[in-house]
Structure 1
Amino acid sequence: MPAETLAANANVALYSSMVVYTLALLAFTLHLASRAPSRAAGPGQERGAAASRTSVLVGAPGRPGALRGGPVGASGAPTARTPGAPEGEDGRGIASRQRGSIGLTLTYLATLLLVASVAMRGLAVARPPWGNMFEFATAAAAAVGLVYSALARRNRWEWLGVFVVGPVLLVLGLALTVLYTEAGELMPALKSYWLGIHVSVAFVAVAFFTIACAVGVLHLVRARREEKPPARPGFLESLPPAAQLERTAYGLNMVGFILWTFTLIAGAIWAKEAWGAYWQWDPKEVWTFVIWTVYAAYMHSRATAGVDHRRSTYIALAGYASVIVNFTLVNLVSTFVGMHNYSGM
């Protein structure tokens, strides 16, 4: 197939994925709305419904329900469904489960379309499709979609869909309206097998950081709501408890941190081959190290006894803010221009 046709089909697949992601976002929104306690339910029923939704997302190995999301008690043993809770094995109503399943199915389809778009773009240019900001944004969004899709069904993360699909749609919209670049050749410094290794691992690391950021924000909101319960519970009270959300975010950040460590090391090796030195204080190199340092501080804080986990979460959120700076301002603002000036803008 001619390169021009492949590039055009890649754009069609990208637009199609955005349409399907929009439908998935709507389904997830309706799912969250249906998780909120009914106005007709009494206080006891609302408490029972919230209790029955409690599920451990990331826990110690061997704990029943630790990854499957089944209801567990404080001791880690499975608990029975609370009487009066909405119908469903984890306390959700039938309508809520159906909408969540529809949202997940649409997310799978949208992610497949987005991956196809990225692949066709790569075939059109006969290289890894992340040589400029547009290609990087779309590939990174595809990585987020793939990681979420792989984890969502197993862990019953339909409640997280709004907070993942929403940012993915935002990134794709910015990619098309602000960052779009025609398919073209790579700059000489990027013509290396390290492009496929270094950047692809960075995509996956950012995907884990993105999902962890969403869970971390929910943890902070949920913790505040637990300290000062509202007069009438809403959908937030249907989410897992703050402590379990925090453990989930920690596990995701740990995977992202390990992958980012490899990204940092691989980048230094590639820099040695391309420019003759492992480190030259280029803005991109500096911010990659800043991200690693902030997340290392988060890991240390999280492992330190007596430190409030909410404070650790704020450090993780600062790390994700550094990720955003690294992949936006460092690439687009002239003040940060260095040897990594590959945005294509």
Structure 2
Amino acid sequence: MTPSIATILAPQLTPTVDEASLALASNANMALYASMIAYTLAMLMFAWHLAARSAQVAATETADREEVLVGSAGTTGAGSSSAGGPVSSAAGLTESGQESEASRQRGNIALMLTYLATALLVGSVVLRGFAVARPPWGNMFEFATASAAAVGLTYSVLAKRNRWQWLGVFIVSPVLLTLGLSLAVLYTEAGELMPALKSYWLAIHVGVAFISVGFFTIAAAIGMVYLVRLRREEKPPAKRSFIESLPSSAALERTAYSLNMVAFILWTFTLIAGSIWAKQAWGAYWQWDPKEVWTFVIWTVYAAYMHGRATAGVDLRRSMYIALVGFVCVIINFTLVNLVSTFVGMHNYSGM
């Protein structure tokens, strides 16, 4: 009997494992695109939030000038210091709870969009993992998206509790840039791992590295804001901006130090775990591989920062510069070391 058309097509209508994996990878890409849209909206809203803070600072400064003029007859009023100078509440805008309603609303909306974008990005990474049936960081594209997800997730966890809406634009922008470059330059189709990477240490060693990079990134962003805030405290500008609405430079420096400390501890584990994995994979704890060397360079620079920061009488500004040099080394380790042929060794995550 001649088989029916339905019988002939039946095997083709049943999805194979490969087809299912491709569907998951396609859904991961869609979630990634959706995440970028949400991050773009969040970035714009964070910028609008900072604009509202600048307006509040300007309004506070104007009110201070008016109070000084009213009290210029010789009395020390609420708007002047005991020395006759203006007392601006703008410097403690967030700390004293005097943030304007417009600024607060925009910051909260931006934060909600960041939560959504981060959830979509984490979902994209998870779907990619299901598609390839392994930890989804076996090539440079997966490496970049997973790192961006770690940064977004770390910020999302810390932002609401610490009221870090003012920091959002400095975190979301590099995350969005990383995702754009990963799609435009680094994209690699879902596939099998290199034999050397087929180990449970991939999930442990690289997973902890991602978390530490998340803390390093946020600490670096706060560190750069600290340097700007400190400069403006030392030399007050003629026209103030949202910078004057941020926490004091001392508070920013302490926060950056705390985050760098957590990241440094995690990076120490990353270095040790990598050595153990190298022993299992290559027969030696240390091979002078470029990736190993740069991992150690990062650890050394941040160790110098920790030591300098803990030394009595140290210049905190110089210590912060050392921390930022360490973050530059992190960027080099995650980009040039993986992509430039000069650095290619036993580690090769590029997939290119």
**TM-score scaled by structure 2?**
0.87
The alpha carbon displacement at 1:54 in A equals: 5.3
Which of 207, 210, 215 is 1:208 aligned to?
215
Once the two structures are superposed, the pairs formed by residues 97-108 of structure 1 within 5 Å of their partners are 97-108=104-115
Is 1:260 equivalent to 2:278 in the alignment?
no
> CA separation in 1, counterparts of 2:234 and 2:261?
27
Q: Describe the SS at the equivalent of 1:279.
A: coil
Once the two structures are superposed, the pairs formed by residues 1-345 of structure 1 within 5 Å of their partners are 2-38=20-56, 39=58, 41=60, 42=62, 44=64, 48-53=88-93, 55=95, 71=96, 90-345=97-352
> CA separation in 1, counterparts of 2:22 and 2:55?
52
> CA separation in 2, counterparts of 1:313 and 1:168?
22
> CA separation in 1, counterparts of 2:154 and 2:336?
25
> CA separation in 1, counterparts of 2:134 and 2:158?
29
Q: Which runs of 5+ in 2 are unaligned?
A: 1-18, 66-85
Q: Deviations over 1:135-174 (max 9, x none)?
A: 0100000001110000000000000000000010000011
Q: 1:190 to 1:291 in 2, by over 3 A?
A: same
For the Cα contact (< 8 Å) 2:92–2:246, is it kept in 1?
no
> CA separation in 1, counterparts of 2:239 and 2:47?
19
> CA separation in 1, counterparts of 2:166 and 2:350?
35
> CA separation in 1, counterparts of 2:140 and 2:343?
15
> CA separation in 1, counterparts of 2:349 and 2:232?
44
Comparing 32-41 with 163-172, greater Cα deviation is found at: 32-41
The alpha carbon displacement at 1:51 in A equals: 3.7
CA RMSD of superposed structures (Å): 1.3
One-letter amino acid of the counterpart of residue 53, structure 1: L
> CA separation in 2, counterparts of 1:9 and 1:316?
38
For the Cα contact (< 8 Å) 2:91–2:248, is it kept in 1?
no
**TM-score scaled by structure 1?**
0.88
> CA separation in 1, counterparts of 2:154 and 2:265?
15
The alpha carbon displacement at 1:37 in A equals: 3.9
> CA separation in 2, counterparts of 1:293 and 1:180?
32
Q: Describe the SS at the equivalent of 2:314.
A: coil
The alpha carbon displacement at 1:342 in A equals: 2.2
The alpha carbon displacement at 1:324 in A equals: 0.6
For the Cα contact (< 8 Å) 2:92–2:247, is it kept in 1?
no
> CA separation in 2, counterparts of 1:143 and 1:342?
18
> CA separation in 2, counterparts of 1:6 and 1:260?
32
> CA separation in 2, counterparts of 1:185 and 1:289?
29
Matched-pair identity in %: 73
The alpha carbon displacement at 1:47 in A equals: 5.1
> CA separation in 2, counterparts of 1:178 and 1:186?
20
The alpha carbon displacement at 1:233 in A equals: 1.1
Q: Which runs of 5+ in 1 are unaligned?
A: 56-70, 72-89
> CA separation in 2, counterparts of 1:150 and 1:192?
30
Q: Describe the SS at the equivalent of 2:350.
A: coil
Q: Describe the SS at the equivalent of 1:23.
A: helix
Q: Deviations over 1:103-148 (max 9, x none)?
A: 1000000000000000000000000000000001000000011100
> CA separation in 2, counterparts of 1:96 and 1:151?
19
